[in-house]
């Protein structure tokens, strides 16, 4: 549904100057429809004069030169006021405007009949104008939203967005605009900040990026990936307004069809894994606190470190039951598992579902890739943990690994419930939904999980009494897969969705997954330290496995759209911050084991940011 003409009619009556500004902005695209040759001058009272020339392969709209009056070589001159120009653009007959004295044509009037070609085809959009090289007027575009956005689309929504546009390369286009959406009422647009508090989100970009966005040269998702656009606050209302703007220009039909299809799947899948269909609760105050605090859930017996995150959960804090630096025992970790159990079916995905279907397909695909690594990974590690349980060298290790097996199965159910009920994956069972996402995975993922973890699990299954092999397996599983990949990815994703108000049900569940992973890593570090203390040569096994596995595993962080694994942005963070976080976590745990860690350049595909740089960027360290 293209509302351009409807909006212009309303603007012509209420704000003719604004309407005229929009029409003039679209003129470079519209005149390309005129059959050449033609050369005329357009004068709009109070706004200026423009010379329009259309010749083979060329259409130009330029301000008329004051010294020559724009007369040389003209076919005719067209004069009107803003209301007349707006009315003509909205479909009013030029003859009617001429009879009413609103439009004057001087010169070759028959040549002026060619202007009727500008009405052929669809209405010229803002994107068409930008692509045609028009001088973009962001103030006119923002103020026109009051007329372009159908108030009916906004029912059930109340929010305020601020758009801060910095000057472009030519020093033009800067300004700040606030857009207020109020549940079925006409949008309100102004340059003053909201009187009733700050905006729900602030979108920051420069004028050159703004032109590329409205011209369709780059997508909003691409602008975010390349850090050309920055959103502070909630992303969902920004996405909604973007969709409405596209809809007003007749460019949202494909997304509406996709949304309708996904809503049908969501409705059909309600109750997957026994999930609730409304507001859920029952996972405890600790989980609620984790969602709100933007910090990892801490394992009992640990304290926060000085960087605003949780200290390594393998270490006991000062002043506790154990001496500082002592590791938690298997029995304590088991008791912790009992206290921290949670239920996948109680998570409430009602808000998540609405946010997902509103998100355009490109952004959905980016999210599906990153969550797919966990989705498939949790099922993989559930299956691959079974041989470890059978090969456990002690009863205590066996019991803890049994709790971890339950955890991993719960995590697989959590991701599958989210994939089925929220992401609306096409397939109707867990394994075929996994195959949908497997198609998005890159070679490093398969090399890490299949050639790395599954290979060592199969070797443990074949030789369950080989302790050296078991040590290699725990290093692969707990120190690399969970300790390097999982914890880093979890922190990046959780920080992003928390900061931007996305997917509250997923936030809650993924925070609980993160809590479990920290407990698993605590077990792995405890087991490896005991093994090394008993036989120091096991330390060589750990060091060898880390040196062989981590360089390839770290490539899993690199998204499909990145050209260079040493230089990309994921979830708002540069790769140097991602690699820095992963490396420091590994180094901290290796230190607990009394082992040296290879330098970062030997393990990470790109440079790592220092802790100071990470803190300055708001990144966990």
Please indicate, yes or no, if residue 587 is contained in any of the structural domains: no
Do 64 and 208 lie in one domain? The reply is no
Q: Is the pLDDT of residue 292 over 50?
A: no
Rounded to an integer, what distance in angstroms lies between the CA atom of residue 82 and that of residue 516? Answer: 65
Do 281 and 348 lie in one domain? The reply is yes
CB 28 within 8 A of CB 59: yes
In this prediction, residue 290 carries a pLDDT of 36
CB 499 within 8 A of CB 294: yes
User: What φ, ψ does residue 335 adopt, rounded to 5°?
Assistant: -60, -35
Please indicate, yes or no, if residue 538 is contained in any of the structural domains: yes
Put simply, whether the predicted model's pTM sits higher than 0.85 gets the answer yes
Do 53 and 173 lie in one domain? The reply is no
Kindly list the distances between the CA atom of residue 191 and the CA atoms of 176, 238, 345, 463, in Å, as whole numbers in the listed order. Answer: 6, 18, 46, 71
In this prediction, residue 303 carries a pLDDT of 41
Question: Mean pLDDT throughout 362-391?
Answer: 94
Do 409 and 458 lie in one domain? The reply is yes
> Tens digits of per-residue pLDDT, 5-42?
889 889 989 999 999 999 999 888 888 889 999 999 99
Do 377 and 231 lie in one domain? The reply is no
How would you classify the pairing of strands 158-166 and 201-206?
parallel
Do 452 and 469 lie in one domain? The reply is yes
Nearest CA to 233 out of 195, 190, 189, 203 is that of 203
Q: Which residues are bridge partners to 474 per DSSP? A: none
Cβ count near 156 (within 10 Å): 8
Binned at pLDDT 50, 70 and 90, residue 121 comes out as: confident
In this prediction, residue 82 carries a pLDDT of 92
Please indicate, yes or no, if residue 383 is contained in any of the structural domains: yes
Rounded to an integer, what distance in angstroms lies between the CA atom of residue 501 and that of residue 496? Answer: 9
Binned at pLDDT 50, 70 and 90, residue 277 comes out as: low
In this prediction, residue 315 carries a pLDDT of 58
Average pLDDT value over all residues in the chain: 89
Binned at pLDDT 50, 70 and 90, residue 298 comes out as: very low
How would you classify the pairing of strands 103-107 and 76-80?
antiparallel
Do 224 and 278 lie in one domain? The reply is no
Which domain CATH number covers 213? 3.30.1050.10
In this prediction, residue 308 carries a pLDDT of 41
Domain ranges, residue 181: 138-251
Q: Is the pLDDT of residue 374 over 60?
A: yes
> Tens digits of per-residue pLDDT, 140-158?
999 999 999 999 999 999 9
Binned at pLDDT 50, 70 and 90, residue 324 comes out as: low
Do 120 and 154 lie in one domain? The reply is no
Do 238 and 361 lie in one domain? The reply is no
Question: Mean pLDDT throughout 202-223?
Answer: 94
Domain count, the chain: 3
CB 606 within 8 A of CB 562: no
In this prediction, residue 397 carries a pLDDT of 98
Question: Mean pLDDT throughout 566-588?
Answer: 95
Rounded to an integer, what distance in angstroms lies between the CA atom of residue 39 and that of residue 61? Answer: 10
In this prediction, residue 122 carries a pLDDT of 80
Do 121 and 156 lie in one domain? The reply is no
Please indicate, yes or no, if residue 585 is contained in any of the structural domains: no
- CA-CA-CA-CA torsion for 456, 461, 464, 467, nearest 10 degrees? 0
Question: Mean pLDDT throughout 320-335?
Answer: 80
Stretch (H or E) spanning 80: strand 76-80
Please indicate, yes or no, if residue 242 is contained in any of the structural domains: yes
> Tens digits of per-residue pLDDT, 306-322?
444 445 555 555 555 66
In this prediction, residue 309 carries a pLDDT of 43
In this prediction, residue 295 carries a pLDDT of 41
Do 211 and 343 lie in one domain? The reply is no
- Out of 116-125, 245-254, 412-421, 520-529, least confident range: 116-125
Q: Is the pLDDT of residue 137 over 50?
A: yes
In this prediction, residue 426 carries a pLDDT of 95
Q: Is the pLDDT of residue 557 over 90?
A: yes
Please indicate, yes or no, if residue 606 is contained in any of the structural domains: no
Q: Is the pLDDT of residue 323 over 70?
A: no
Please indicate, yes or no, if residue 524 is contained in any of the structural domains: yes
In this prediction, residue 70 carries a pLDDT of 46
Binned at pLDDT 50, 70 and 90, residue 98 comes out as: confident
Do 80 and 226 lie in one domain? The reply is no
Question: Mean pLDDT throughout 105-114?
Answer: 90
Binned at pLDDT 50, 70 and 90, residue 296 comes out as: very low
């Amino acid at each position: 549904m293209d509302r351009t003409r409807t909006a212009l009619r309303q603007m012509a009556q209420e704000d003719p100057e604004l309407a005229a500004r929009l029409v003039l902005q679209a003129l470079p695209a519209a005149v390309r429809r005129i059959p050449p040759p033609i050369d005329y001058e357009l004068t709009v009272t109070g706004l200026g004069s423009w010379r329009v020339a259309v010749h083979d392969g060329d259409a130009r709209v330029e301000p008329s030169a004051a010294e020559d009056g724009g007369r040389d070589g003209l076919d005719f001159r067209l004069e009107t006021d803003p209301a007349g120009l707006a009315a003509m653009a909205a479909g009013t007959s030029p003859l009617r405007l001429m009879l009413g004295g609103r439009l004057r044509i001087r010169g070759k009037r028959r040549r002026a009949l060619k202007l009727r070609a500008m009405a052929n085809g669809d209405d010229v959009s803002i994107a068409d104008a930008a692509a045609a090289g028009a001088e973009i007027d962001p103030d006119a575009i923002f103020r026109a939203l009051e007329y372009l956005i159908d108030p009916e689309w906004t029912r059930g929504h109340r929010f305020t967005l601020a758009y801060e546009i910095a000057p472009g390369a030519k020093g033009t286009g800067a300004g700040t605009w606030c857009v207020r959406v109020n549940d079925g009422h006409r949008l309100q647009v102004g340059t003053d900040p909201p009187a009733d508090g700050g905006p729900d989100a602030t979108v920051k970009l420069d004028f050159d990026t703004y032109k590329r966005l409205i011209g369709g040269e780059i997508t909003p998702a691409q602008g975010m990936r390349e850090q050309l656009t920055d959103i502070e606050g909630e992303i969902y209302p920004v996405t909604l307004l973007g969709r409405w703007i596209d809809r007003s220009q007749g460019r949202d039909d494909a997304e509406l069809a996709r949304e309708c299809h996904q809503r049908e799947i969501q409705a059909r899948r309600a109750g997957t894994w026994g999930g609730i269909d409304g507001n859920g609760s029952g996972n405890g105050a600790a989980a609620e606190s984790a969602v709100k605090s933007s910090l990892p859930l801490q394992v009992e017996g640990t304290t926060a470190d000085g960087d605003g995150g949780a200290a390594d959960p393998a270490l006991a804090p000062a002043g506790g039951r154990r001496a500082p630096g002592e590791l938690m025992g298997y029995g304590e970790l088991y008791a912790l598992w009992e206290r921290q159990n949670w239920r996948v079916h109680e998570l409430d995905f009602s808000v998540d579902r609405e946010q997902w279907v509103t998100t355009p397909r490109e952004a959905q695909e980016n999210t599906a890739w990153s969550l797919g690594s966990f989705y498939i990974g949790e099922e993989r590690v559930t299956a691959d943990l079974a041989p470890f349980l059978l090969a456990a060298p002690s009863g205590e290790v066996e019991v803890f690994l049994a709790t971890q097996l339950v955890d991993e199965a719960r995590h697989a159910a959590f991701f599958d419930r989210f994939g089925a009920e929220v992401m609306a994956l096409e397939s109707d069972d867990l394994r075929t939904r996994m195959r949908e996402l497997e198609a998005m995975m890159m070679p490093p993922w398969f090399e890490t999980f299949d050639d790395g973890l599954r290979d060592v699990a199969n070797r443990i299954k074949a030789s369950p009494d080989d302790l050296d092999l078991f040590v290699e397996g725990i290093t692969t599983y707990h120190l690399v897969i969970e300790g390097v990949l999982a914890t880093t990815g979890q922190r990046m994703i959780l920080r992003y969705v928390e900061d931007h108000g996305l997917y509250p049900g997923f936030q809650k569940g993924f925070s609980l997954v993160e809590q479990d992973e920290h407990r698993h890593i605590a077990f792995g570090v405890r087991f490896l330290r005991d093994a090394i203390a008993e036989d120091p040569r096991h330390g060589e096994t750990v060091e060898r496995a880390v040196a062989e596995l981590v360089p390839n595993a770290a490539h899993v962080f690199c998204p499909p759209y990145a050209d260079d694994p040493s230089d990309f942005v994921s979830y708002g963070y540069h790769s140097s911050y991602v690699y820095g976080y992963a490396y420091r976590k590994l180094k901290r745990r290796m230190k607990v084991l009394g082992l040296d860690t290879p330098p970062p350049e030997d393990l990470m595909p790109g440079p790592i940011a220092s802790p100071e740089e990470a803190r300055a960027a708001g990144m966990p360290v």
